[in-house]
Structure 1
Amino acid sequence: MAFKSNNPFLNNKSFSATTASKNDEVHHATLIDYNQEMTLSGTINKTLILFLLLSASAIVIWWMTFNGMNPIVPAFGGAIVGLILVVIASFKPQYSPILAPGYALFEGLFIGGVSAIFETKYPGIVIQAVGATFVTFAVCLGLYKFKIVKVTEQFKSVVVAATLAIATYYLISWLFSIFTSFVPVHYGNSMMSIGISVFVIVIAALNLFLDFDRIEKGVEQKMPKYMEWFGAMGLMITLVWLYIEFLRLLSKLNSRK
């Protein structure tokens, strides 16, 4: 039995449900406005818009940090608001045209603040993490485009299960570290910690294949236009996760020097 997840950003549930309702509409309609259907070019454009919004927000916090402002409050505030917007979009994808830009702006606060903190401690680490993220994205896109990696149901099940296992481990470790003196094994710069970071980066990269597949299937199934924002938002979530994990890994490697 394939592993199932209730998170629409980890499976195709929202896409399938939307498709079913749209098929019903098409069945009873005599005139279809094809401009209201999801397209690949539209999704790419939305992704670029979200990337620009996130970058602009991150640059503002970056500049303010290096001009004396403490980035902790805006960074964690942005992360919390961004998470809330993601949860809402997961259950109400039709609101994605509003929620996705909001997510990009608030997540930019988090990215900018965290990046500034790491850069202060390890100069040059941010450009390395950005480069690693884009190279990983390009490689995964190429592997998907040329069908070298095929997204089967078994592939989806393994990636989703691993992703949820990582999320659960992070949550439990965080709670234990708050209420006890427990130090999670992924903290510090030990070889075990570095190995965990590498594993998490691999899983994050594999999630890119799921994002590409959802977008492609959405276009093929002629989903509503707002699903372009939903697909772009899902892709940005994975890229942000991948970037943060590269920052963590590089910081561990730098601290061993």
Structure 2
Amino acid sequence: MALFKTSNPALGSKAFQDAAGRAGAIDAADRMTLNGTVNRTGILLICAFATAAYTWRTFMQTHDPSDVSGLLMLGVFGGFITAMVTIFKQNWAPITAPIYALLEGLFLGGISAFFEQRYPGIAIQAVGLTFGVLLTMLVVYSTGLIRVTNKLRIGIIAATGGIALFYLLEMILGFFGIHFVAINGSSPIGIGFSLLVCAIAALNLVLDFDFIEQGVNYGAPKYMEWYGAFGIMVTLVWLYLEILRLLSKMRSRN
């Protein structure tokens, strides 16, 4: 078992340890730093916002889903493929991580516009809450209010895996006309489930911060700054989509 793990597939088992081992006696100036990872994360966010703004504006001009459906599919499948490539080819992250962010932006901009059309103002609320959670978890982690112990790590990994399996089961059963109405609806059960998933996604950020810090301590090579930023982006995309879903459930009750 690896010493450091995270439930984020992008920051999987032994990622930074293996990279550090490959780095060998690399010069200190060419090693991963926290500031460098933060800067790379900012670049990826800018990339995502740029393409999100494009699909958002395209849909808002015509309000015709067919105008952006192709871009959404490109974002979903292209983003998934790019993510898989990045996970297995970490040294490609300086190139693939920005591509991933651009592709995810296409999807996020379109899906946000769909929600915005039905629930005006929901997109900016979801964006604000996502960054609010990011900053809160960063403060919580940096001040030591939450310490990443093995028990906490295992618990979050188990919860994240359970959610992933549930979503997969839900998708498969959906092909046979079986739907979990209570969980997907705006009932207290549905809202409670979304709150739980948002909380698990937020806790994944703490694991990501801890894992990146371990990468810095191991002396991972410089390209791992991009890989660490990519891992944060994966979690933020998940968190934003879950918050968007939660807000839509709450709005539909009004």
TM-score range, shorter chain: over 0.9
Residue 172 of structure 1 is matched in structure 2 by 169
User: How much does 1:11 deviate?
Assistant: 3.5
Residue 120 of structure 2 is matched in structure 1 by 123
Residue 33 of structure 1 is matched in structure 2 by 27
C-alpha distance in 2 between matches for 1:230 and 1:113: 26
C-alpha distance in 1 between matches for 2:81 and 2:147: 32
C-alpha distance in 2 between matches for 1:112 and 1:60: 7
Give the match's secondary structure for 2:185.
Answer: coil
User: How much does 1:88 deviate?
Assistant: 1.3
User: How much does 1:175 deviate?
Assistant: 1.2
Give the match's secondary structure for 2:221.
Answer: coil
| Structure 1 range deviating more: 104-113 or 10-19 | 10-19
The partner residue of 2:140 within 143, 164, 171 is 143
* C-alpha RMSD of matched pairs (Å): 1.9
C-alpha distance in 2 between matches for 1:5 and 1:134: 21
CA deviation digits over 1:83-123, x for unaligned, max 9?
11111111111111111000000000010000000000000
CA deviation digits over 1:26-68, x for unaligned, max 9?
2xxxxx4322110111111100000000000000100111111
CA deviation digits over 1:145-198, x for unaligned, max 9?
0011011122111111111111111011011112x1211242221211111101
C-alpha distance in 2 between matches for 1:87 and 1:203: 22
Residue 177 of structure 2 is matched in structure 1 by 181
Structure-2-length-normalised TM-score: 0.93
Residue 17 of structure 2 is matched in structure 1 by 16
**Would the aligned equivalents of 2:8 and 2:235 in 1 still touch at CA under 8 Å?**
no
What is the total number of aligned residue pairs between the two structures?
249
Please, which runs of 5 or more residues in structure 1 have no aligned partner?
27-31
| Structure 1 range deviating more: 73-82 or 134-143 | 73-82
Please, which runs of 5 or more residues in structure 2 have no aligned partner?
none
Query: CA 1:229–1:5 in structure 2 vs 1: closer, same or farther (change >3 Å)?
Result: closer
Higher relative CO (CA 8 A, sep ≥ 6), structure 1 or 2? 2
**Would the aligned equivalents of 1:50 and 1:236 in 2 still touch at CA under 8 Å?**
yes
Identity fraction in percent = 45
C-alpha distance in 2 between matches for 1:214 and 1:4: 7
Give the match's secondary structure for 1:186.
Answer: helix
**Would the aligned equivalents of 1:65 and 1:113 in 2 still touch at CA under 8 Å?**
yes
Structure-1-length-normalised TM-score: 0.92
Give the match's secondary structure for 2:61.
Answer: coil
**Would the aligned equivalents of 1:8 and 1:91 in 2 still touch at CA under 8 Å?**
no
Structure 1 counterpart of 2:45, which letter?
A: F
| 2:214 is the counterpart of 1:220 | no
Structure 2 counterpart of 1:85, which letter?
A: T
Give the match's secondary structure for 1:66.
Answer: helix
